[in-house]
Amino acid sequence: MNGVPFNKVSVERVKIIRPILEFMKNKSLRSSIACFSSLICAFAISAQAAMPGKLLVVTVTKGFRHSSIPTAEKVLGELGQKSGAFTVDYVRNDQEMAEKMTLAALRQYDGVIFANTTGDLPLPDRQGFIDWVKSGKAFVAMHSGSDTFHGFPPYIEMLGGEFQTHHAQVAVECINQDTKHPATRHLDATFRVFDEIYIQKNFHREQVHGLLALNAHPNDKTPGDYPIAWCKMFGKGRVFYTSLGHREDVWDPDWTDKNGKRENSREVSQAYQKHILGGIQWALGLEKGDATPQTK
């Protein structure tokens, strides 16, 4: 045999093992290893936090169905892709709701978007869903997300308002209530948009952080407080709602009607997209923004 003689192997082995034994006895070295491992752990956790959020986009309707829903679905997917902030799965019908929104199935998601939903949705466990959001998830809704679950007070309480009525579509000048919030920091002091403007009920100014509002009725211009968009904490969960988003040309800068016309400029849609993207990122905890009510 042309290998190393046996006694030589033993010596070599001791040479390797002894420093390891010495090392095990050395407390300070051991604690630095522990430090190093926790550093690795911290790095892994921060890497995880930077992972895109997983969102469910729900477009099921039990009342009025907006023609802008396919546009909304497309825009939300694109915003997630372009920003890298989130990925989306869709819940478009009752069967998908039954499969993807059980409490067990929701475990893999960071939040849910109600994009122009209406009516009493067949959630497998609606109170369980509210509690799931409250446990620290993101809940985002656009436009008729407030025309949803009228007969289920815990939903209204979570959202912070409830659709009452609307009149003819109209151009409004929304007041920017927080020029630092990710949902509104790109906007000037006011944001002009042409849309179907909702009048809300069961809204409590002292329970939400206002983002956009009107200081007069959208149609008859009587002075008053007319909320348009807001955010709020809900337990450990984060809720962002904007009542804008009836029209396709609010959502999509490229949309035109069959005559090639739009009511909103491309810039208005681009601003709306930043508005909802910022709101989603805030709700996912990826962007900082104030959620304390401005009036107590």
Give the footprint of Zn ion on this chain (CB under 5 A). 196, 246
**Nearest distance, CB of residue 84 and Zn ion, angstroms:** 30
Q: Give the type of residue at 58.
A: V
Which distant-in-sequence residues (6+ apart) come within 8 Å of 130 by Cβ?
A: 154, 155, 158
Nearer to Zn ion, 145 or 237 (CB): 145
**Nearest distance, CB of residue 66 and Zn ion, angstroms:** 6
Nearer to Zn ion, 30 or 167 (CB): 167
3 state DSSP class of 154: helix
If phi > 0 it is left, if psi is from -120 to 50 it is alpha, else beta; for residue 116 that is left
Position closest to Zn ion via CB: 246
**Nearest distance, CB of residue 117 and Zn ion, angstroms:** 12
Q: In which element (H, E) is residue 17 found?
A: helix 6-25
Nearer to Zn ion, 100 or 166 (CB): 166
List the structure tokens of 114.
Answer: 């109600």
Given a contact cutoff of 8 angstroms between Cβ atoms, the answer to whether 117 and 144 are in contact is yes
**Nearest distance, CB of residue 180 and Zn ion, angstroms:** 29
Nearer to Zn ion, 232 or 246 (CB): 246
Q: Could you give the CA distance from residue 204 to residue 294 in angstroms, rounded to a whole number?
A: 12
**Nearest distance, CB of residue 196 and Zn ion, angstroms:** 4
Nearer to Zn ion, 150 or 246 (CB): 246
